[in-house]
Structure 1
């Protein structure tokens, strides 16, 4: 299991393997069988977003999340989403209670996904400065909760070159701040330019900081939507999801196993999880693979259980 202290060592190891990994991806998934890798070992975490409907409806409280993860799903690591406690980043009482509930249930606080802050890659320098400041409190909260990372978004307008330049500047500044807190900064492919894996890996190389990494998400590779929005209208330009994961894995500090729906055999019907996990294995990744269920056909509980069963099955097959 990767920790914040060994992230840079893991990243250097990933970089050694990256050329062969991405080359294999361009030749097709089947070639990954020939890539040498140690025994496949990952643990499953649960993303809080998997329960967003219940949380927004008030059926589950944010403080209950680590308890639910353990008692309902027997999952021992969690990924928080700040949307469910946006005003609590500096609330020591809330953070202390959350940390205690995780400890009481033997649950590891893995990371916090950060939304709702100013755009890190904005063309406006003042907005980028505000974004850095806005994320600092979440780095401090993550440290208090004994997380190893925060997940950020790299949203912003402009040309590709402008986006890469602005992303690089703000990421490096945030990583330098996070050094004192031992917290890694992970970027998810999460819409817009950030879902173009080639552009995002260009940013990783430009930042060149041991705390800077990616959080590959199996399902978030829509680069452009019909109406220019981030989430609502149909996707009209999508990056190849398997190529994208292959390119992002050399920098991965966490992995998000996004799921939507399942067929009668229990396989995800729109994403080949076996192909994805071959890419994860080929990168010698040993960290958490997080369940992030977003489907509508199954209930949140059933979707989480179906995703966990599929991950357990494939892990056993690939051990």
Structure 2
């Protein structure tokens, strides 16, 4: 009788232990899933004004309405493009009122619509990476007014381009020289100088990483763009011509994201599922999520359509979908 009771007690204890172990395993798994959901990264989204360049150049959209447009499309931040306000090919009612008047109005409108002024993409102010120091010093001077503009608007950065020599070592040396000068000017104003992979040597992630490490200033960083990894174009053109040599975009993003102070989610076209036809957004956004980057993700549609709004909306939807994977 005692043996029977002992046997029943042992069996009951074993079953209870197994049930308890199963419950503990399930609880642990549920906790892990909850932790994963809780720690999943989300990002504020900004609209890159270049997405609207076609209607602005065509005169059917006013660049002064940027805050209103971005707000209506559901964005929190604004990424301005300098040339859309000062380019000779652009015409809008306030064009000739002067830069400060334009900035006053942009700031007032961003406040009216509750928008955050994130950065200014600066173009056509001179090349920063040639051997000619007189020319590059002038380019640095030309960029300073946009540092001042960024400070006035409350942006955290200006984006610059690094066009220059084709010899890698010379390009790195010249880029470092110009960036140090600009960063020294921008630092007291709490403005970052950030470099986009934007063609030529700057689209070589390894070389741009060298530049960042040699500059070694806290207000110098990158603006990785998902699409701009063309190293060479047909006929040596900067823009417009077919790309004949391209850098691996995923490798490039991995190299540039440690220095990123912004991210440009570039897109060109979409398939029936809403996925970008040339860029694996799931892979790109996974690289971003696995990094320490916690700033704005800029939506930048650059498709062939005259009306960019559907493409802008599709890009935003894809970023949000990729973040949920």
The two structures have a TM-score, normalised by structure 1, of 0.85
Secondary structure at 1:227 match in 2: helix
Q: Secondary structure at the match of 1:123?
A: coil
Matches within 5 A, 1:248-259: 248-259=256-267
Give CA deviations for 1:233-256 in whole Å, capped at 9, x if unaligned: 211111000000010000000000
1:68 maps to which residue? 69
Partner of residue 81, structure 2: 81
Q: Choose which of 202, 216, 222 in structure 1 pairs with 2:210.
A: 202
Cα shift at 1:297: 4.9
Q: Following the alignment from structure 1 to structure 2, what is the Cα–Cα distance between the partners of residues 254 and 122?
A: 26
Q: 1:167 aligns with which of 170, 175, 198?
A: 175
State how many pairs are aligned: 280
Alpha-carbon distance change, 66 to 257 in structure 1, aligned in 2, over 3 angstroms = same
CA distance, structure 2, for counterparts of residue 165 and residue 65 of structure 1 = 37
The CA distance in 2 between the partners of 1:91 and 1:242, in whole Å, is: 38
Partner of 2:10: none
Q: CA deviation at 1:91?
A: 2.5
CA shift in 2, pair 1:38/1:161, >3 Å: farther
Aligned residue number for residue 102 of structure 1: 110
Contact 1:90–1:137 under 8 Å retained in 2: no
Matched, 1:235 2:239: no
State the Cα deviation string for residues 177-218 of structure 1 (Å, max 9, x = none). 001111000000000000000000000000000000000000
Whether 1:187 and 2:195 are equivalent positions in the alignment is yes
Q: CA contact under 8 A between 2:44 and 2:297: conserved in structure 1?
A: yes
SS of residue matched to 1:173? helix
**Which runs of 4 or more aligned residues in structure 1 lie more than 4 Å from their structure 2 counterparts after TM superposition?**
87-90
Q: Does 1:152 align with 2:153?
A: no
Task: Pick the aligned partner of 1:136 from 144, 147, 157.
Answer: 144
In the aligned structure 2, how far is the partner of 1:40 from the partner of 1:262? 25
The equivalent of 1:19 in structure 2 is: none
Deviation at 1:296, TM superposition (A): 1.5
**Who is 2:52 aligned against?**
51
SS of aligned partner of 1:217: coil
Partner of 1:93: 101
Alignment of 1:296-307 (within 5 A): 296-297=304-305, 299-307=307-315
Matches within 5 A, 1:281-300: 281-297=289-305, 299-300=307-308
The one of the two structures with greater contact order (alpha-carbon pairs below 8 A, sep at least 6) is 1
Tell me, yes or no, if the aligned pair for 1:114 and 1:150 is still in contact at 8 Å: yes
Matched, 1:247 2:270: no
Query: How far apart are 1:86 and its partner, in Å?
Result: 2.0
Match for residue 28 of structure 1?
A: none
- Asked if residue 221 in structure 1 is aligned to residue 222 in structure 2, the reply is no
Contiguous gaps of at least 5 residues in structure 1: 1-36
Query: Over alpha carbons, which structure has the higher Rg?
Result: 2
Aligned partners of 2:233 and 2:242 also within 8 Å: yes
**SS of the counterpart of 1:96?**
helix
Mapping 1:26-41, distance limit 5 Å = 38-41=39-42
Distance of aligned partners of 1:91 and 1:226 in 2 relative to their CA distance in 1, 3 Å threshold = closer
Deviation (angstroms), 1:295 = 0.8
1:195 touches 1:239 (CA, 8 Å); kept in 2? yes
RMSD between aligned alpha carbons? 1.6
Equivalent in the alignment of 1:260: 268
Runs of 5+ in structure 2 lacking a partner? 1-37, 88-94
Report if aligned partners of 1:261, 1:297 keep a CA contact under 8 Å in 2.
Answer: no
Higher mean C-alpha deviation, range 183-192 or range 116-125: 116-125
Residue aligned with 1:147, SS: coil
